[in-house]
Amino acid sequence: MRVLAIAACATLAACAAQPPSPTEIAKSQAELQKLIGGKVAGKPITCLPHYRADDMVRIDDRTIAFRQGSTVFVNHLNGECSNLKSSFYALVTRGNGMGLCNGDIAQVRDLSNGITVGACALGDFIPYSTPRP
């Protein structure tokens, strides 16, 4: 029985998320810069209404962004949503009726079977807008 427990622990350790490589970090930073380049950060908001939460971009396992017209709302997640960047998984949230809010739990689910493979909490939403002349 003890051998089975050790084998199970070894298997789980092998599946643990690896830290991102320098190349992956650079790609994520470039993708974020592409979204917010030339824009100015506004005052963070705690909730993003549903009508603004349609066009989500996964930057990395700790950052997501929502595009609404020329404004981009960036959310730095509280904790890491493992596997978020993978195209085989989806980010699933349960809103409170007001939209997506700081502290809401987000789950990363496998699209083929619905199994949760990661979870984190949303942070504040930082709006980035083009400055007015």
pLDDT single digits (tens) 119-132: 999 999 999 999 88
Domain assignment of residue 18, yes or no? no
The confidence band for 71, taking pLDDT boundaries of 50, 70 and 90, is very high
Q: For position 42, what pLDDT does the model report? A: 96
Domain assignment of residue 83, yes or no? yes
Cα of first residue to Cα of last residue in the chain, in angstroms, is 71
Q: For position 94, what pLDDT does the model report? A: 75
Determine the Cα angle at 65 with ends 91 and 46, to 5°. Answer: 90
Question: Considering the chain, what is the average pLDDT of its residues?
Answer: 83
Q: For position 17, what pLDDT does the model report? A: 57
Domain assignment of residue 32, yes or no? no
Domain assignment of residue 29, yes or no? no
pLDDT score of 46 more than 90: yes
Q: Which domain holds residue 125?
A: 38-133
Q: For position 4, what pLDDT does the model report? A: 37
Residues contacting 111, CB < 8 A, separation 6+:
88, 89, 90
Q: For position 85, what pLDDT does the model report? A: 82
pLDDT score of 14 more than 50: no
Number of domains in the chain: 1
Q: For position 95, what pLDDT does the model report? A: 65
Domain assignment of residue 14, yes or no? no
Domain assignment of residue 100, yes or no? yes
Q: For position 54, what pLDDT does the model report? A: 66
Q: What is the token pair recorded at 72?
A: 């981009």
Domain assignment of residue 120, yes or no? yes
Q: Is 63 exposed, middle or buried (0-12, 13-18, 19+ CB in 10 A)?
A: buried
Side by side, the strands of the sheet bearing 63-68 are: 40-41, 125-129, 71-76, 63-68, 55-60
| Separation between Cα atoms, residue 7 and residue 3, nearest integer Å | 6
Domain assignment of residue 20, yes or no? no
pLDDT score of 33 more than 50: yes
